[in-house]
Structure 1
Amino acid sequence: MKPQAMMIYPTIFVKEATGGYAVYSPNIPGMHTEGDTFTEAVHWTIDAIATMLDGAANYPDPQDPSDWQLHDNEQIVMISVDMGRWLFEKARERETKTVRRTITVPKYLNDFAKKHDINVSRLATQALEAELREG
Structure 2
Amino acid sequence: MDQIVVFPIIITPVANERKYPYLVEIPALDGLTQGRDIADAIEMARDYIGTFSLTDELPPSDPTLPPVKADSLATLVTVNISAYRRRYDKKVVKKTITIPNYLNELGKEHQINFSELMTQALKEKFNI
Map residues 114-133 of structure 1 onto 2, 5 A cutoff: 125=126
Contact 1:16 1:22 in 2 (8 A): yes
Give the TM-score normalised by structure 1: 0.58
Runs of 4+ in 1 over 6 A off after TM superposition: none
Deviation at 1:7, TM superposition (A): 0.9
Give the alignment partner of residue 8 of structure 1, picking from 6, 11, 18: 6
Q: Which residue of 2 aligns with 1:110?
A: none
Contact 2:28 2:59 in 1 (8 A): no
Query: Matched residues, percent identical?
Result: 15
Q: CA distance change for structure 1 residues 91 and 53 in 2, over 3 Å: closer, same or farther? A: closer
Q: Distance in 1 between matches of 2:61 and 2:42?
A: 20
Unaligned runs of 5+ in 1: 101-121, 130-135
Q: CA distance change for structure 1 residues 28 and 63 in 2, over 3 Å: closer, same or farther? A: farther
Q: CA distance change for structure 1 residues 74 and 5 in 2, over 3 Å: closer, same or farther? A: same
Q: Which amino acid aligns with 1:6?
A: I
Contact 2:63 2:76 in 1 (8 A): no
Deviation at 1:47, TM superposition (A): 0.8
Map residues 17-96 of structure 1 onto 2, 5 A cutoff: 17=15, 18=17, 20-29=21-30, 31-57=31-57, 59-62=59-62, 64-65=64-65, 68-91=66-89
Contact 1:15 1:22 in 2 (8 A): yes
